[in-house]
Amino acid sequence: MLASLVDWLSSPWPWYVAGPAIGLFVPALLWLGNKPFGVSSNLRHLCAGIAPCGLDHFTYDWRREGSWNLLFVAGILAGGFLAAVVFANPEPIALSRNARASLTALNITDHRGLAPREIFQWPALATARGFVLLVIGGVLVGFGTAYAGGCTSGHAITGLADRQLASLIAVAGFFAGGLLATWIILPRLLA
Amino acid sequence: MRFLLAGLVFGFVLTRAEVISWFRIQEMFRFQSFHMYGVIASALVVAGVALEIIKRRRVRALDGTPIQLAPKEVGRGYRYIIGGAIFGVGWAFTGACPGPLFALLGSGLAVMIVPIASALAGTWLYGYLRPWLPH
């Protein structure tokens, strides 16, 4: 009984288990405290807390507005630890054969773990691909979500589920940008 | 405390779903697996049905206040399409959206501190440039 529970907690979940579980966070956070599910607001709260520099966008009571969300994100960090370290799945991700072949062609050959080890490590930051993926990529995530007023959780899940036109436009943007990066930029950067 | 706990469960689910994986994001943008589309679509259906029930039954939050979700102003829509596309490029580069950045850090990838710090810099840059950007 306990062994099978541990086994379940350590194995990858299929989309039809994981997806509905993720969707439940929208009503759960509303019910727990009338909070809209959205993670990227935390980047704004952190900026407001660390270096508001008199900018309008960061001048608000971030403690009052954002404390719950910062706690939520601290929980995400702990949840990642619990799932990847305590209940670690020793197997590599069951990527499709085609995905493996495509990534190998881009010199991403080690498919173990959650992210390519060749790039997601400190020394790689000094290489062009490591710098672009981790540093530039991070800037674009922060700038883009702030500009669009939300990320995957706020727009693609909450906003679309609430049938907001703004979120539909944003999600179209997410995919346009992702396809551009995947099909045009990454092949030139990695191959 | 309840939000910390909710976040913990969320981070666990994200990791088990593998949606925080750079490999899975590449697979999605290359249309080489249904996995990510299945996750997003089924999350949407569940969230959509739940919101419909909340609206029709006028469900109240734990503290008794009526549940409401503020509508997003569309305006000209520039911010959504341009900002969205910029985020999309970053999503494909880092293989992570804001939630997964933190889940990956928790999973033991210490180097994720770097994209988190640069995401903060990117958000700050938006705050700085905001008056001059089309919305």
Written as one string, the DSSP assignment of A45-79 is HHHHHH--TT-GGG-S-HHHHHHHHHHHHHHHHHH
- Enumerate the residues of chain A whose CB falls inside 8 A of the CB of residue B86: 140, 143-144, 147-148, 173, 177
Interface test with A, best of B124, B128, B129, B135 (most A CBs within 10 A): B124
- Enumerate the residues of chain B whose CB falls inside 8 A of the CB of residue A153: 97-99
Percent helix, strand and coil across chain A, each rounded to 5? 70, 0, 30
Q: What is the pLDDT of residues B11-37, one digit of tens each?
A: 999 999 999 999 999 999 999 999 999
Q: What is the pLDDT of residues A30-43, one digit of tens each?
A: 999 999 999 999 99
The pLDDT score that the predictor gives to residue A2 is 84
Which residue among A18, A55, A177 places its CB closest to the CB of B85?
A: A177
Contact B67 A30 (CB under 8 A): yes
Which residue among B23, B41, B114 places its CB closest to the CB of A99?
A: B23
Bridge partners for B60 per DSSP = B66
- Enumerate the residues of chain A whose CB falls inside 8 A of the CB of residue B48: 23, 160-163
SS3 A135: helix
ipTM above 0.90, yes or no: yes
Q: From CA A108, how far away is CA A111, in angstroms rounded?
A: 7
Closest CA to A157 of A148, A165, A167, A147: A167
Bridge partners for B66 per DSSP = B60
Contact B104 A173 (CB under 8 A): no
Bridge partners for A89 per DSSP = none
Q: pLDDT confidence of A191, banded at 50, 70, 90? A: confident
Q: From CA B31, how far away is CA B27, in angstroms rounded?
A: 6
Contact B84 A46 (CB under 8 A): no
Q: pLDDT confidence of B120, banded at 50, 70, 90? A: very high
Q: From CA A65, how far away is CA A58, in angstroms rounded?
A: 12
Question: What is the average pLDDT score of chain A?
Answer: 95
Element housing B50 (H / E) = helix B35-57
* pTM, 2 dp: 0.95
Contact A160 B105 (CB under 8 A): no
Buried b (16+ CB within 10 A) or exposed e, B5-30: ebbbbbbbbbbbbbbbbbbbbbbbbb
The average pLDDT across B46-53 equals 96
The average pLDDT across B106-133 equals 97
End-to-end CA distance of chain A: 48
Which residue among B4, B92, B131 places its CB closest to the CB of A181?
A: B92
Q: A98 to chain B nearest CA, in Å?
A: 6
Residue with tokens 């089924």: B42
